[in-house]
Amino acid sequence: MSEPTLAEAPGRPGDRGTMDATTGIPPAVTEETETFWAAAREGRLVVEGCSSCGAESFPPRGICRSCRGRAMIPVEIAGRGVIYSCTVNYQRWLPDLEVPYAIVLVEFPGHPGVRVAGRLRGCPPEAAAIGMAVEVGFEPGPGGFAIPSFVAAG
């Protein structure tokens, strides 16, 4: 299997964090989510936008949560996010899983309806706090997928 080429997190060149996130269950790619995973492999965060009403949503489901329209188009999100919620996982769900680590749920200014979950890396888990500014990056995940994660913006 070839190593996926991943973009580094903005502002933190060379920093992939101290943890290995490849332990876990690979995502099940569907018709609705394949655009997201393809963009992730290029280091880009892409969500769904409704071509009828403009509402954005994540995760992609192929249907607008606002108007039930099905004409969804990819919308790329750039720039900082803000932690909406966070938790620290201490449970070793799998034998090779490194714990503890923080999981954060992140909102993006100008993109209501979109919240993306991922690990917080580059700082101790207990540093995660609601309202903290973060930048999205991608790191190698299970099955060779690039999965979103976050680093403190600064």
**CA 12/CA 145 separation, integer angstroms:** 21
What is the nearest approach in angstroms of Zn ion to the Cβ of residue 81? 22
| Contact positions with Zn ion (CB under 5 A) in 9-28 | none
CA dihedral of 118, 122, 124, 127, whole degrees rounded to 10: -70
Q: Which of 53, 78, 99, 130 binds Zn ion (CB under 5 A)?
A: 53
Asked if 69 is part of the footprint of Zn ion (rule: CB under 5 A), the reply reads yes
Nearest-approach distance from CB 110 to Zn ion, in angstroms: 17
C-alpha–C-alpha distance, residues 104 and 119, integer Å: 6
**CA separation for the pair 135, 121 (Å, rounded):** 11
> How near is the Cβ of 51 to Zn ion at its closest, in Å?
8
Query: Residue 58 has which token pair?
Result: 């994540």
Q: Considering the rule CB under 5 A, would residue 50 count as an interface residue with Zn ion?
A: yes
Q: Which residues bind Zn ion (CB under 5 A)?
A: 50, 52-53, 55, 64, 66-67, 69
